[in-house]
Structure 1
Amino acid sequence: MEFLEVSKKLEETDLKEAEEQLGISFTNEFKEHYLKYNGGYPVKSFFLWPDDGAKTRINHFFSIKYDGFSRFETAYENLFITEQILPQGFLPFAVDDGGDYFCISILPQFFNQVFFFDMHHYDPGWIEEYVTLISESFKGFIDNLVDE
């Protein structure tokens, strides 16, 4: 996998600072990816949905600590703390062209699984309407990125 226009390379201490700042813990797969690629555009920019073969184009991955197209910390604070759109335990790491979010779970029962948050169907009282499990792991999500 290759990413373009990534932000400044992260060190493990940078990830630790982000975790402490936000009061969260990243999964090991997520950390490994971000130590290699800090945000940017995946060259294989489409997520291939495993159930029906549909594709969703990823606009970009958020960067951590350093400015990029969007910062992870800003997205997390806006979506979880300020606007309270995301439920606790879901970390937004990428966005598609329509403003929908790809999130990794840090909840024990869904740990390291990736979910798609369809903001066009957002309903705070009915999470099933806008949240879909799309990968059993962060690595599985990355492995399902394909060319157009």
Structure 2
Amino acid sequence: MLNKDNFYKCEKKISIGDLHACENKLGITIPNSLKELYLNCNGGMVYKDIWKTTVPPYKLQISIFIPIKYNKDFRNDPDFLIEGTASKFWDNENLPKELLPFALDYSNGFLCININTGAIYQYLRLEWDDTL
């Protein structure tokens, strides 16, 4: 399980109210496991950033967890928060609304959590998005 000690370059801590505001804006309920993570650590980079998978390429490397609120490097621009990232891909129908992107990987993709089942998926973007 990931915990705060695994993260660095985290954003300012969020409250349960911040989390609920994000859920309300997106019209979803974030799975409890992800809520717990974000209440302990609002995005950031991880020390152990490679996970083994059961399908090719058999490992996945995480670039950064997307913050719920606050993003110092991008002056809190919503496009660089979970709500802006999810809204953009949902509105363009590039990502099903039950998949919530919460982390970027080094394969030009996202890690997404299925808000209905809690399953984690890798979503690979076919085109580079210069706005991210």
TM-score (norm 1): 0.72
Among 76, 93, 96, which residue is 1:87 paired with? 96
Per the alignment, residue 46 of structure 1 pairs with 50
Cα distance between partner residues in 1 of 2:125 and 2:69: 25
Partners of 1:87 and 1:27 lie apart in 2 by 16
Deviations 1:104-131 (A, max 9, x none): 0013xxx11101112239xxxxxxxxxx
1:115 lines up with 2:121 in the alignment: yes
8 Å CA contact 2:42–2:69 kept in 1: the answer is: no
**Is the contact between residue 39 and residue 68 of structure 1 (CA under 8 Å) also seen in structure 2?**
no
Gaps of 5+ in 2: 74-79, 128-132
Aligned amino acid, residue 76 of structure 1: A
* Runs (5+) with no aligned partner, structure 1: 122-148
Residue among 75, 85, 92 paired with 1:75:
85
Once the two structures are superposed, what CA deviation does each residue of 1:81-103 show, in whole Å capped at 9, x if it has no partner? 2x220012110001112321110
Kindly tell me the number of residue pairs found equivalent between the two proteins: 117
Q: Which amino acid is the alignment partner of residue 20 of structure 2?
A: K
CA distance in 2, matches of 1:86, 1:68: 26
Aligned residues: CA RMSD? 1.8
CA distance in 1, matches of 2:72, 2:106: 17
**Length-normalised TM-score, structure 2:** 0.80
Match of 1:62 among 52, 61, 66: 66
Please tell me whether residue 6 in structure 1 is matched to residue 10 in structure 2: yes
Q: Which contiguous aligned blocks of 4+ residues in structure 1 show a shift greater than 4 angstroms? A: none
Residue 116 of structure 1 aligns to a residue whose secondary structure is strand
State the percentage of identical aligned residues: 30
Where does residue 106 of structure 2 map in the other structure? Answer: 97
Show the counterpart of 1:30.
34
